[in-house]
Amino acid sequence: MLVNHYPPCPDPSLTFGVSEHCDPNLITILQQQSDVFGLQVLRNGEWIGVEPISKAFVVNMGYQMQIISNNKLRSVEHRAVTNSEKARTSVAMFFIPNGDSIVEPAKALVDSRNPAIFKSFQYKEFITHFINKTGGTSP
């Protein structure tokens, strides 16, 4: 679980709350503060605000889901921006396997017409590769 607090910023163009990224995990469940915009997703090259809805969760597919689905489902690129007038708090829960778990395309989705796009590997190898590739940190 990760709790992020974003204080108001008089000029939101000067800083991001969290820069653009895809989560490395299977899924992320996010509860946004219901009255403050801040979460954005990249769609067709444009950043779109995700409307905060009271008593609702946002579910992001992570990069592991993209691997397991053999690229049929895509990890969502997203970011958090600051607000000039209001503070914002979000709570994220990440679903992450233990380090020895195997991450690979689901066998039911792989055949001669749909070959595996990703190789099979241990989660601890995956997260190390993901962090080195993106320069990010894991949840």
What is residue 109's predicted lDDT score, i.e. its pLDDT? 97
Q: Which of 86, 73, 98 is nearest to 8 (CA)?
A: 86
Local confidence pLDDT in tens for the 139 residues of the chain = 999 999 988 888 888 788 899 999 999 999 988 788 899 999 999 999 999 998 899 999 999 999 999 999 999 999 999 888 999 999 999 998 888 999 999 999 999 999 999 999 999 998 888 888 877 655 5
Chain Cα centroid distance, residue 28: 6
Q: Which of 1, 36, 35, 4 is nearest to 19 (CA)?
A: 4
What is residue 136's predicted lDDT score, i.e. its pLDDT? 62
Give backbone dihedrals phi and psi of 97, rounded to 5 degrees, phi first: -80, 170
Q: Which class would CATH give 2-134?
A: mainly beta
What is the domain partition of the chain in residue ranges? 2-134
Chain Cα centroid distance, residue 68: 15
What is residue 14's predicted lDDT score, i.e. its pLDDT? 81
